[in-house]
Amino acid sequence: MQERGVQPVTPTAEHSKGGSLVAKVLIILNREPYDGTDVTWNALRLAGKLLEKGTEVRIFLMNDAVDLARNETVKPESYDQDLVAMLKDLIGKGVPVKVCGTCMARCGIHRGKPYFEGAQKATMNDLVEWILDSDKVLTF
């Protein structure tokens, strides 16, 4: 029985690698990295687990989540997870990360600071392309 609201991924030539289905999942993050919740941490953990299962994962950072791609963002002493290191680890494993260019100047604690290497400055058009090319879009 199929869950309500969940559509099965239909295999296409683009998704087929060695005869197995590879889903494309886009994760959009909006929240400030260290906001007192585990929302961002859980999104990054999920990205890692999806990657382990062979899923093609992409991450787009918007709003205050753009600070996650800035070296100025440091883990507070009270927090036990280094979210910036988690994102860099995912990038190192081949996960493409795009970051809203408009948000660079408008959002985050470190407004105007550049994004670190591996996090690509992007546009709303880039996000639209990723959404249209994804099987699932998850927003945190």
pLDDT digits (tens, 9 = 90+) for 7-30: 444 544 444 445 456 799 999 999
pLDDT of 3 over the 70 cut: no
109 or 61, higher pLDDT: 61
pLDDT score, position 2: 45
Domain 22-139 has CATH 3.40.1260.10: yes
Share the mean pLDDT of the chain.
Answer: 88
In the chain, domain spans: 22-139
pLDDT score, position 22: 79
The angle, 0 to 180 degrees and rounded to 10, between the axes of the packed helices 39-52 and 83-92 is 20
94 in Cβ contact with 56 (< 8 Å): no
